[in-house]
Amino acid sequence: MYITLGKNKKEEELLKKTKHFKLLSLLCCFLLLSVLISRDHFAYAASTVPSISYTTSKTKVYTGDQFDINVNINNVTDLYGASIDFQYDPSLIKVLDIRKGSVFGSAKVNSSILQRKDSTGYISFYTSLIGSVSGINSTKSTVFVIKVQALKTGAFSLKTISTNDKLQANGNNVRIKLANSKLSNNTINYTANNSTINIGGVSTISYTGSNRYQTGLLVSKAGWNQSDYAILASGQNFPDALCAAPLAGKYNAPILLTPSKTLDAGVSAEITRLKVKTVFIIGGSSSISPAIESNLKSRKINVVRLAGQNRFETSLAIAKHLGDPKEAIVVNGLNFPDALSISAYAASNNVPILLATKDRIDPAVSNYIKSKKSITKTYIVGGTAVISSNLEKSLPKPTRFSGATRYDTNLAVLKGLNFDFSNTFVALGTDFPDALAGSAIAAKTNSPTVLIQPNMPSNVVSEMNKMKSQVGIKHLLGAAGNHKNFVDSVLFK
């Protein structure tokens, strides 16, 4: 009995110890779980602190480019309103516009520029929801979009603060404040990543005047500070003017276009600015009137008129002024696109452009080609519908560049001849003056002229895309300047 009772007491004590151990184990597990939950909670909270960062709409920015600075916001909760103050260098960039970002979506907002001083480089803007509504939650979106134009090469940083400290263009230059929907203590704190934007040299230059004559003047001013020579051609009729490019190349002279009857006032002033001593007039009196010739002579300017009885003989008169060329170009003189495709090459390489019809070349022109022993190669631009196979056979060592359209033909010229695409000139293929004036400046750098129109053949666009890596600065001549987006985003995307 004694032994039995003693055994029961020991079992009771052991049972009590077991219960205490279980309770202690449960308590430890609870404490450990609490620690883990708290740690995860704090980690989650840390990861969801709102942040501000910046990206641009273009990976590479060049002088003259317009681009967007996207002010990005991540992990924001209950966003009711936001404001931005931006201090910048007005000689480096120009702020064109600022607008609310995608975070506000289609919500009803008040949004406005509060202050703007372009001369000193400052703009202030805000966006706020309207009424007693909850704020917006977003993990990734934009809070502001700033539309900017690059004015010169350089770099600037975007450094963000939320305090009222003074902003400086070369220091802390962006102040952003965020607010939630609470009536008090409604400031949303955030972190910010600084960003630097580099502006490289120009990618596009436009020479777009109010008319063809003004465009020609812009080209002349860009290419020449002074010139003893100038080429004067009609801006109204293409046949005589088409062949002027190689003459401009020989004398390193601009091609100036004028109405046929009266010398354009801007052209007259440009001749004075350039201190021109000799003007080559292209074409007869119906192309450039005797009154214009008299005007120039009265200013003690030497005038040389190169003309023939027709457009074919005028092309010959110009050719004879080029000395002993090694090559000749033959194009149909009844239209202009084919000649424009190769005019820059002709100007750069002292190659005459000779006009013909589909089946006939003027006898005098034919005799010139045969008698000029220096000419050992000819280029035909255009298909057999414009220069026939029979005519081709009469030419020395001919090479034909042609395609289904003028743009296909232009592409054949670009691929078939040796050009430096570091500077690429672009003109509409629907008229002649812009490309003609541009051929003279293109010749200085052995640059090509690309003919375009927005609905040009897709196969040509595809081939142009492949040439993008070769293309440097794009020079948009005349009306082509209105199609910069097409050139940048479609043709050379």
- Which pairs with CB-CB distance under 8 Å and at least 24 residues apart come from 466-471? 467/414, 467/421, 467/492, 468/492, 468/493, 470/421, 471/421, 471/424
pLDDT band of 134, cuts 50, 70, 90:
very high
C-alpha to C-alpha distance for 29 and 440, rounded to whole angstroms:
87
Tell me the β-bridge partners of 256: 232
Most confident of 152-166, 291-305, 467-481: 291-305
Tokens of 7: 């055994």
Q: What pLDDT is attached to residue 330?
A: 97
Q: Give the strand pairing for 51-56 and 66-79.
A: antiparallel
Q: What pLDDT is attached to residue 42?
A: 40
C-alpha to C-alpha distance for 378 and 238, rounded to whole angstroms:
22
Q: What pLDDT is attached to residue 62?
A: 82
- Cβ neighbors of 184 (< 8 A, separation 6 or more) are none
What b/e readout covers 158-169, taking b as 16+ CB neighbours within 10 angstroms?
bbbbbeeeebeb
- Cβ neighbors of 294 (< 8 A, separation 6 or more) are none
Q: What pLDDT is attached to residue 13?
A: 54
Residue 248 has pLDDT above 60, yes or no: yes
Q: What pLDDT digit, counting tens, does each position of 258-291 carry? A: 999 999 999 999 999 999 999 999 999 999 999 9
Average pLDDT of the residues in 470-491: 91
- pTM of the model as a whole: 0.63
Average pLDDT of the residues in 479-486: 93
Lowest mean pLDDT among 232-241, 260-269, 389-398, 408-417: 232-241
Using alpha carbons, select from 489, 30, 483, 478 the residue that is nearest to residue 211.
478
Q: What number of helices (H) and strands (E) belong to the chain?
A: 14, 25
Tokens of 246: 């190689």
